[in-house]
A and B are shown apart, each in its own frame.
Chain A
Amino acid sequence: MLKLISIVGGLGCWHFLAVWVINDSVLLVSPLVVIAKGYEMLFVTADLYPHLFASWWIFFYGMILATVVGVPVGFLMALSPLVRDYVSPWMTALYTTPRIAFAPVLLLWFGIDIGSRIAIVFLGCVFPILINSFYGMRVVSRDFVEVGRAFRLSGGRLFLKILLPASVPFILAGLRLAVGRGLTGVAIAEWFGATEGLGYLIFFAGQTLNMPILFVGVAVFGVLGVLGFQILKIIEDLATPWKKELEAK
């Protein structure tokens, strides 16, 4: 109830501010205008979709690539101290550097094509996935492993039947974290030399002082972030039903 009041009240204040106080469509527009513009772009002129799809493919490829690379490398680092010691200083450096720093370098290497954009998204997504796979494999309960040993499982079967399923929840949590970072990556990637995509839309609207489109772009990013997070949460619940039972107990 209070939440509803807060949302309606906030939108009301925003409308009041935009229409009566500032009254300058270059600085701020009323939420009503934004909603109308969003409706128009979605259902009337439908010119939001090309941007949406362009961004979606970059995001999709980047995310897949990050999973394909991140999970095995994380596992390797967890299983072999040698790999861990050699890889981790480079990883720390790459992970803690603000990702935007690599964007011009990647652009230099891959050109202003879709390749460099996917690389930027990949760089954002790969670390949460890698780190979570690493921890997932590291913290597998010793009891589980001993049960496997007692049943004389070979190394491969131990991995497939015990280590892998036990680290699934961690990997999924990593994917969930990666969604947000991937979206930021999409926005960064489309800054440079793109001609379509949601990041391009926001950038272009900012440059041309087109407030309604700018707000629509920001809102779409917000909706996608929440949506991606929720979808992965549902997948997480489906893939790890035992976790829910534990919580219930």
Chain B
Amino acid sequence: MHRGLYSILGGLILWEALTRLLLENELLIPPPSSVIRSLWRMSLSGELNRHLLATLFEFASGFSTACIVGIVLGYLMGRYRWFDELMDPWIATLYSIPVIAFVPLIIIWFGIGLFSKIIVVFKITAVAIMLNTAAGIKNLDPVWLELSQSMRLSPWQTTLKIRLPGALPYIVTGMRLGVGRAMLGVIVAELMAANAGLGFLLRDASETWDSPKLFVTVVLLAAMGMGSFTLIKKGEQRLAPWRETAEW
């Protein structure tokens, strides 16, 4: 823990010193101090808020819809073989094609506004959650189902009290896989065609050669990525404490 802190502090100091001593202008690598200054300026002017909120809104709405649809369809895939076989070829294809390849298509269909980004996030996350939910339902311990029979639970109760909670750890894993890819997708979509959002900011900064601004955006994206990752990891540990969760 201490070493981690030292490492970050040391790295930042080294970065500041090297950029101040060796580089004459800030174009290639701005020192941390000017990145922080730029961050401060952008948050005062409200520029930061606007872009951050746009991205967060797109992400949140796409992600929450994807959770609902993904869990319902994944449940059906796990329960009914014919449905699984019907969906599988298409889901597998969708899953194996890189996210980025879809973005131009989605922008043509749904425009350059917020909606196309929500669709991008939705598509990416829904597929990941669907596959994992189906796996969770299929791998349910049969003892639990016998238990529900001996308790005379109705099918509806079995679903709510046994099957879905049993699949929960898998569902959370699907969410974790979805988060990273969806964040990539939303940034790419904003980069290609948008008028707000962190991806737009990234493009704006790189096209105007504003390196401090560019680095501010990178730092913000890093913070978002790390934040959501930690959150989901915590959730995973609480829901399935018996499973060894990965450090990264």
Contact = CB atoms under 8 A, between A and B. Distances in A.
Q: Do A and B bind each other?
A: yes
Contacts of A88: 4, 247
Given A104-B202, A108-B27, A108-B211, A184 B98 contact: yes
Contact of A101 (B85, B93, B102, B222): B222
Contact of B98 (A10, A206, A225): A225
Interface string A80-117: 00100111111111111111111011011100000000
Give the one of A96, A184, A214 with max B CB within 10 A. A96
B205 to A, nearest CB: 7
A202 B101 contact: yes
Given A6-B89, A218-B97, A97 B102 contact: no
Contacts of B191: 100, 191
B53 to A, nearest CB: 18
Interface in A181-217: 183-184, 187-188, 191, 199, 202-203, 205-207, 209, 214-215, 217
A7 interface: yes
Q: What's the dominant secondary structure at chain B's contact region?
A: helix
Interface string B205-248: 11000010011011001100110010000000000000000111
A153 to B, nearest CB: 29
A91 B30 CA distance: 21
A188 B222 contact: no
A27 B108 contact: yes
A127 B246 CA distance: 13
B96 A226 contact: yes
B4 A85 contact: yes
Contacts of A27: 108-109
A184 B7 contact: no
Q: What's the dominant secondary structure at chain A's contact region?
A: helix
Interface of B: 3-4, 6-8, 11, 27-28, 82, 85-90, 93, 96-105, 107-109, 180, 183-184, 187-188, 191-192, 199, 202-203, 205-206, 211, 214-215, 217-218, 221-222, 225-226, 229, 246-248
Interface of A: 2-3, 5-7, 10, 26-27, 82, 85-102, 104-105, 107-109, 127, 131, 180, 183-184, 187-188, 191, 199, 202-203, 205-207, 209, 214-215, 217-218, 221-222, 225-226, 229
